Amino acid sequence: MAKVKEESEVRRRKKHRIFPWIFLAIQILFLVWVIVGASSGGSCPPDQQGACEAGTAIGVGLVIAFWVAVDIILALTYLVFRLFRR
């Protein structure tokens, strides 16, 4: 009886929390992508500067929208797997 309790305690302690690290890595990748995208719009000719800035803003906006969509999908996936473990 005591041996069964010890084995169950060991199994409870061995939970690996991989999801937070994956989530953090994805957040860092998106942050780098936004920073690089925002800084890449400065190399335009002077007469096309307005269009270049507008394109940069649209591109960064799309990356942020994609970032939000990925975060929502990750959150829903995490909740579904967490409910199935109970």
- What tens digit of pLDDT does each residue of 19-63 get? 889 999 999 999 999 999 999 877 788 898 888 999 999 999 999
pLDDT at position 2 is 58
3-state helix, strand, coil in the chain (%, to 5): 90, 0, 10
Torsion angle, alpha carbons of 27, 31, 33, 37, to 10: 160
pLDDT at position 3 is 62
pTM for the full predicted model:
0.74
Give the 3-state secondary structure of residue 79.
helix
Sequence length of the chain is 86
pLDDT at position 66 is 98
pLDDT at position 18 is 87
pLDDT at position 55 is 92
Give the 3-state secondary structure of residue 16.
coil
